[in-house]
Every structure is written in structure tokens, then in C-alpha cells.
Amino acid sequence: MIIGTAGHVDHGKTALIKALTGVDADRFIEEKERGVSIDIGFAPFILNDGRIAGVIDVPGHERFIHNMLAGIGGIDLVLLVIDAQEGIMPQTREHLDILELLQIKKGIVVITKRDLVDGEWLEMVVEEVREFLAPTFLAEAPIIPVSSVTGEGLEQLRETINALGETLPERDDKAPLYMPLDRVFSISGFGTVVTGTLLAGTVKVGQIVEVLPPGRELRVRGIQVHGGMVEKASAGQRVAVNIPGLERGELGRGSVMAAPGYCRLTRFCDARLRLLPGARPLGNLAPVHFYLGTSRVTARLLLLEGDELAPGTEGFVQCRLDRPLVARRGDRFIIRSYSPMVTIGGGIILDDQAPRHRRFRPEVLARLEELEQEDPRPFVLQKLRAAGGASLAELSQLTQLGTEQLRDMLEAAIQEGDAARLGELYVAGEMRAAWEQQIKERLAAYHREKPLLPGMPKSLLGGFLPRKMMGRPYDALLDQLKQQGLVTIKGEIVALEEFSPRPAPGQEEKLRQLLDLLEQAALNPLPVREIWTQLGLRKEEGEMLLDYLLWQGLAVKVGEDLLLHKDAVDRCLEVLREHFRSNRSVTLGQYRDLLQSSRKSAQLILEYFDGCKYTRRVGDERIPLKFPGL
């Protein structure tokens, strides 16, 4: 569990954390001298069951809101700290706006400096706070007055933290590793150390991780959790990781440590944006300061639905960032006006790898409305469509979802017809249906054009498919169509199930003439082009007739330009079989004499038998291999 503070400057956040944990979260001399936090600090809080929760103390001064935002995004429980003497102050309001925009769900209101006010004043402050929080997520939150000096109320606060901690959902430690970095420093003899809140997954010593930016893979040398060396850290912990091999200047706050290949840098994100009621209207492409995770960049927001976003309203936007950062679908972000720098709104990332859009496009808005659903399946299916199919590992990278979650989701989608699996690739259901229809139409057209051919070559049939579909996915698609009773597959030839080659009445006579010609030629047939001339056939028609005879097994092509009648090939085979019954091998000359043919014909026939694995050439001789009838 990660606990974070929020509240106005000098309201006692750091003193409260020290009283609860014994740790001074101010790290810098300047902070200690001035008594004002300027950056996020950290401390461990021991829960009743012995687990250690991480505490993030954030600065309250308006000048350091950017540091506050770097620490507050990954928390599970917030302590909203309000000074009993001062009550609600400007940064109390701004911090609360930020918490609401980030959709923090659980919190405790802590009234500090209880020892400096009397009971009547405290009662008035509690009433003011309850009224102030009524329209917010903290409307029913416990309000606990405490004194960090006397210790009054601290035990009640500890018990309340423990009780609320038991109601929090567990973070997913089986998901791919994801940790935004909030500190980077070097230790002599160890190299670079990074710290952050581990939001998902686990990290182990010796594990390969990727850091973006700069986008390099490195091996983890050591891990600390709250100052203690560990072999493994899990989601929901504050972690320091030693990753030597990076120079400190190569990365900084805003970088992300993740499972290799899991995250990608982006400069275009589609999002739903909400503008705070007290903000000024936001114009199209107005520059803003954009905060996501621990990152801070400048962005221009393309308003997809109008020329202006009014205060207190929401709309779809495309965030165009001035430099790339890592984002994930579902991440919450904050925007602050360019000048003066005040928080004006925030929202949720719907697509972290969005193409550039034009405004007022109904299809774009419809797509984003689909992505707004809590169910991630529409997002997954959109990525499948855009990719033209993807393996589980590829889809995990595209969606930043774990493979186990994706597998379960896709299996359910397959049952409902929204997705299909083809070999190792998953595709959208309508895409698979479109491919099936195209295959049926292409085969039907081929059969009409070439009714004597047994079917269409697989390589020609699948020419319209994306390149990644060729190979096993294509074979899987054809096999599914075969199982459905739609096609037949014989070797490399595919045909519609109901199709059978049938010569037209006028073609039957031409087929008989062609067979007679081959039979008369025996082992000395005419070249193919002369056959067409002698029979008065066009080349295309003759080749189609010949393919039909080959498919029927009535003719055999033993060479590029040598066609034999089936009976002639059978005789050649019988002659060689008789020879092998009393001889271990045959030479080309011997076989020519046995056939009483030309040397060229004998050579082509032997090479044909080699290709059939009937014989094998050894030097100048052939020996039987898988010779039929021996």
C-alpha cells in the first residue's frame, strides 16, 4: 500500500509523517533550514499485520506543485492535511482538485496542530471541512484531529489507516513490470540508482528491465525496499533499484522502468478531458503543462468536438506532446495553464498510441466513445484491427495488458465471434469473416474461369492477405474453412467443397484428341507448342486441357517440355522394375537401350523417377530407393 499526503504549505504534513513513522521525510538541507518541503519525501509505515506501507510526503507550496504531482499519482490512500488554525487554504483546494482528477478513491482528513486550538474552534474547523468536502470523494472520509507534538489522535489515525488499508484492492503483481521513476542518483561503486512506486508486476535481482527514455535494456544489480536489501519487490511497494550501465544524464524523473518491450514512447494520446469549473475556457491547441505519472511536458490539446471547452465540461481531445513520454491506457493526467501556472483540469488516457486526427470526425468520436468503456475488450479489438492481427506477445505490447488477462479476454471474444485465432495470431472477428468471404469469392471466380482445373494454388489464393498472415496463420485459416466444410485442400491446391472439374461437351473431344496424340507419340512426343498447333488450340486453352489430364493422372509431365501418356510412364516403370530384379543399378545408356528411346527422353524419365524417390543417382548410375513393386 502507498500512502500520500496532500495539503497547503506549512500545515504540518512532514511533521505528521515523522510522528507516525519516526522518519523525517525532508531530505535536503534547504528544507530543514526553511521548514518547508520542496520535493517529495519518503518513509515506511508499519501496518498491524507487519507489512510495510510506503508513505510519500509531498510539498504544499504552490511553486512546487510539479513535485507534488510527481509523487501523488501512484498512491492508494491520501492523508489530506489541514491546519486547525488556518482551515481551508488555496493549496488545500488545488490539491483536492488534483486528487479528484486523478480519481484517488480512499482518504483520511487529518486536522493537525490540535494542541494549538481550543475545542470550540476545533469543532468549527471540522464543520467547515465537512461542508467543504461534501461534494467530493472525501465526503464520508474520517476526520481525525491530531497533534504531532503531544501525540494526541495519532493512535486513532494509525488504526484508521490500518482499517482502510484492508479495504483496498491488491495491485497486480502478475502484470508486466511498470514503475515510473521519481528519483535518479548515483552511488560510488554501484552506479545509477532509481526509485519509484512499483505500480504493477515484480522486479527481481538479475532481471532484465527496460528504461524509457532512453529505451535501453539493463540488468538489475540490487533492490532496496525502505532501506533493506531484498531479492524481489512487488506491486504496491516503494522501491530503489540499482541498474548500472546508465549515466545519470541519460534519464531522470519521468522515465519509466518496465518489462522489456512492454512500453513505448508516444507523442500523441487520445483522452477524455475534464475542465475544472473555476478554469477559463480552453481553446483549441492551447498550450498547457501536462503531467502524467512522474512526467512533466508541454502539450497542445486538439479539441475533437468543438472550438472551445467550457469550464466544468468534458470532451475528447488529442494530446500532442512536445517530447515523447510513456503513457498507458487508463492513466490519469493533470493539466495546468501555461501562464499563470494553475491546475485547470485533467483526464484519462484512452489510447496511448493514437494516429493524428482531424477534428469533428464522427468515426473518430465513435471510436473514442467505445474506448471509454471500463471493459478493455473494445480497446484490444481496436488494436487487433489496426495491426491486422497480432500474437499474444505483440498484443501485450500494443495494449500494455498482461498475457494471462489478454488470453482470457480473447478466448471469451472468440466464443462470441468478436475475435478469432489463426495459428499464433489473433484477429478481429469481422476481419476473419471478411477474409473467409474473399477466399470463397476468389475460388468461385477461379472455378468459373478455369473449370477444368482442380482448384487454385494456395500461394495465389492468399495473395490478398497481410504478409504476417502468410505461413501458419494462413494454413490455420484454410484448415478452419475445411473443418467448416467450405473448401477442400489437396497439397497446394484449394477448391470449394462442392466443386469438381468437369469438361464442357466441346472440350471432351479435344481431350480425347490430346490423349490420342500423347499415346501415339509414346516416348518421343512433340514439343508442347507444336501439340497446340497440331490440334488447333490456343495456348491458354491447351494448357487448361493439359492441366486437367495431369490432375486426372492420364498424363504425366516428366520434364519442362516432355509430356507422356500415363501408359507410357507405366511401361517405363515396368521396364526398370524388371531390370532391377536382376541388377543392382542401371546406367543412362542401359536404360536408353532398354526403352529403345532417345538419350534425352531416357534421361528425363530417370530424373523424374529420382524426383519421385523411386531411384537415387550414385555417380553415373541409378539404384532403387523406394521403387514400387520391389
Closest CA to 350 of 305, 400, 397, 307: 400
Among 452, 472, 502, which residue terminates a domain? Answer: 502
- Kindly report the CATH number assigned to the domain that includes residue 136: 3.40.50.300
pLDDT at 191: 85
Residues 541 and 475 in one domain: no
Looking at residue 453, what is its pLDDT? 84
Do 159 and 73 lie in one domain? The reply is yes
**Among 502, 519, 554, where does a domain finish?**
502
Query: Quick one: 159 and 92 in the same domain?
Result: yes
In 372-504, alpha helices (H):
377-387, 392-399, 403-415, 429-449, 458-461, 472-483
Q: Note the pLDDT of residue 286.
A: 94
Rounded Cα distance, 275 and 309, in Å: 7
CB 232 within 8 A of CB 203: yes
- CATH number of the domain enclosing 565: 1.10.10.10
User: Which helix (H) or strand (E) segment is 6 a member of?
Assistant: strand 2-6
Chain segment 209-235, per-residue pLDDT in tens: 999 999 999 999 999 998 889 999 999
What was the pLDDT predicted at 36?
55
Spatial CA neighbour of 63 closest among 420, 324, 354, 336: 336
Query: 244 with 280, same domain?
Result: no
Q: Indicate whether 114 belongs to any domain.
A: yes
Contacts of 596 (CB under 8 A, 6+ apart): none
Sheet holding 487-490: strands in order across?
456-457, 493-496, 487-490
Question: Each residue of 567-599: b (16+ CB within 10 Å) or e?
Answer: ebbeebbeebeebbeeeebbeeebbbeebebee
- How far apart CA 10 and CA 37 sit, in angstroms, is 9
Tell me: cis bond preceding 176? Omega within 30 of 0 counts.
no
Same domain, yes or no: 80 and 212: no
Q: What is the pLDDT of residue 629?
A: 85
pLDDT per residue over 44-94, tens digit each? 899 888 888 888 888 765 666 777 787 787 889 999 999 999 999 999 999
Task: Tell which of 371, 395, 411 closes a domain.
Answer: 371
**8/153 same-domain check:** yes
pLDDT at 295: 92
305: containing domain? 265-371
**Residue 320 belongs to a domain:** yes
Residue 630 lies in a domain: no
Is residue 173 in some structural domain?
no
Residue whose C-alpha cell is 482528477: 101
For cell 488545500, the residue is 92
Instruction: Give domain status of residue 246, yes or no.
Output: yes
Are 139 and 26 part of one and the same domain? yes
Q: Is residue 171 part of a domain?
A: no
Supply the pLDDT for residue 29: 52
Quote the pLDDT of residue 255. Answer: 93
Which residues of the chain are modeled with pLDDT < 50?
31
- Burial (0-12, 13-18, 19+ Cβ within 10 Å), 62: middle
The answer to whether the CB of 349 falls within 8 A of the CB of 328 is yes
Instruction: Clarify whether residues 520 and 608 are in a common domain.
Output: yes
pLDDT at 38: 60
* Phi/psi at 263 (5° precision): -115, 155
As for how many domains the chain has, the answer is 5
Regarding whether 311 and 396 lie in a shared domain, the answer is no
Q: Are residues 480 and 440 in the same domain?
A: yes
3-state secondary structure 93-135: HHHHHHHHHCCCCEEEEEEECHHHCCHHHHHHHHHHHHHHHCC
Residue 100 and residue 104: Cα distance in Å, rounded?
6
For residues 334 and 395, membership in a common domain is answered with no
Residue 528 lies in a domain: yes
198 with 74, same domain: the answer is no
Residue 409, C-alpha cell as written in the block: 479476454
The answer to the question of residue 343 being in a domain is yes
Closest among 424, 237, 262, 426 to 353, alpha carbons compared: 262
pLDDT tens per residue across span 580-595: 999 999 999 999 999 9
Q: How many whole angstroms separate alpha carbon 369 and alpha carbon 365?
A: 6
pLDDT (0 to 100) of residue 217: 93
Question: Do 48 and 145 contact (CB within 8 A), yes or no?
Answer: no
